[in-house]
Amino acid sequence: MNRILTGDRPTGRLHLGHYVGSLSNRVKLQSEMDTYIMLADVQALTDNYDNPKKIQDNIYQVLIDYLSVGIDPKYSNIFIQSQIPEIAELTVFFMNLVSHSEVLRNPTVKTEIKEKRFSTGVPFGFVAYPISQAADILILRANNVPVGNDQAPMVELADYIAQRFNKVYKTDIFPKVKGIYSDIPRLVGIDGGAKMSKSLNNFISLSEDRETLHRKIMSMYTDPNRVKATDPGKVEGNPVFIYHDAFNTNLEEVKDLKERYIKGMVGDVEVKEKLEIALNIFLDPIREKRKYFESHMDEVMDIIKSGTAKARAEAKITMDLVREAIGINYY
């Protein structure tokens, strides 16, 4: 069986980086595989424990983002992590299967700790979140995890834990876990920074209105060495062209712009205006669907409730298997 589990921390609306890194893969794969998509509110609390309101608000924002980009409840079960207590239970058993130093070695967690500058020390729950993420995946016995490539260490840990559990408790309940990574693993920020990110404030959100989009595109970094439109420009690594490649479906136009840019025969403004048109073509249907769902919240609530109920039923099956494998099914 092919099953997908993936998700996001509901700390803010999703952006173009989420789309190219993972959402597009989910939309593509959902009709081929049994798909579960999780709103990781428990994980979001590991570094926002003192601001639960932020998570509460963004649960619905991210849920509507999902539905607006084409995650279809006909194929995908969307659920809320905190409503599946079995995940917390499984996490406790998984903690024994990973060494202390293994947890501290996780490169993604290390980077995050540096970026987040926790003022009152790094919460233990934050350091341990990769173990809980393994439980997110394995509570559904999912074997495919479509995520951005910064999540590769988490996927590897989930597989390590799965195989170790199977070996230690002489069972085969957990599958081999593999990541599905996008061709464009991460999208640069509008400031040319390595990664589009909410905390770096260099993002274009999937629900960006036309005015803000215009302003953000006009402020985008291009080739830093090009002063005038007649200077020959560089296309590689140029954020404006990276976005053209990712979102402009008019390939002829992109090719023409690149050719002229290299020769110094087109200004940044024209390249940006064409990008704005392309992004509006991409974003308009997403904006429209968002509007629809925002005014049909009863439908949205039904979707999340039924997705969560399905995930919970599966989680209970897994926990029965886990208790039996460990031998704590006393009576």
Residues that bind ligand TRP (CB under 6 A): 5-9, 38, 40, 43, 133, 136-137, 145, 147, 151
DSSP of 79-116: EEGGG-HHHHHHHHHHHTTS-HHHHHH-HHHHHHHHHH
Q: Looking at beta carbons only, is 206 or 275 nearer to ligand TRP?
A: 206
Q: Looking at beta carbons only, is 180 or 321 nearer to ligand TRP?
A: 180
Q: Looking at beta carbons only, is 10 or 233 nearer to ligand TRP?
A: 10
329: amino acid identity, one letter: N
Residues 6+ apart with CB under 8 A from 288: none
CB of 85 to ligand TRP, least distance (A): 16
CB of 134 to ligand TRP, least distance (A): 8
Asked whether the beta carbons of 194 and 185 are under 8 A apart, the reply is no
Asked whether the beta carbons of 196 and 188 are under 8 A apart, the reply is yes
CB of 151 to ligand TRP, least distance (A): 6
CB of 89 to ligand TRP, least distance (A): 16
CB of 33 to ligand TRP, least distance (A): 14
Edge-to-edge strands, sheet with 76-80: 76-80, 34-39, 3-8, 144-146, 178-180
CB of 271 to ligand TRP, least distance (A): 31
Q: Looking at beta carbons only, is 27 or 145 nearer to ligand TRP?
A: 145
CB of 246 to ligand TRP, least distance (A): 19
Measured at the CA of 122, the angle between CA 117 and CA 125, to 5 degrees, comes to 135
Which of 153, 201, 144 minimizes the C-alpha distance to 177? 144
Q: Residue 76 and residue 87: Cα distance in Å, rounded?
A: 19
Q: Looking at beta carbons only, is 17 or 233 nearer to ligand TRP?
A: 17
Q: Looking at beta carbons only, is 6 or 238 nearer to ligand TRP?
A: 6
Q: Looking at beta carbons only, is 39 or 97 nearer to ligand TRP?
A: 39
Asked whether the beta carbons of 168 and 132 are under 8 A apart, the reply is no
Cα Rg of the chain, angstroms: 22
Which of 7, 12, 63, 67 minimizes the C-alpha distance to 35? 7
CB of 7 to ligand TRP, least distance (A): 4
Q: Looking at beta carbons only, is 275 or 322 nearer to ligand TRP?
A: 322
Asked whether the beta carbons of 271 and 222 are under 8 A apart, the reply is yes
Q: Looking at beta carbons only, is 12 or 233 nearer to ligand TRP?
A: 12
CB of 78 to ligand TRP, least distance (A): 13
Q: Report the greatest alpha carbon distance in the chain.
A: 80
What is the total residue count of the chain?
331
Q: Residue 215 and residue 219: Cα distance in Å, rounded?
A: 6
Whole-number Cα distances in Å, 105 to 76, 146, 178, 199:
33, 23, 20, 23
Q: Residue 114 and residue 106: Cα distance in Å, rounded?
A: 13
- Residue whose CB is nearest to ligand TRP in the complex, by number: 40
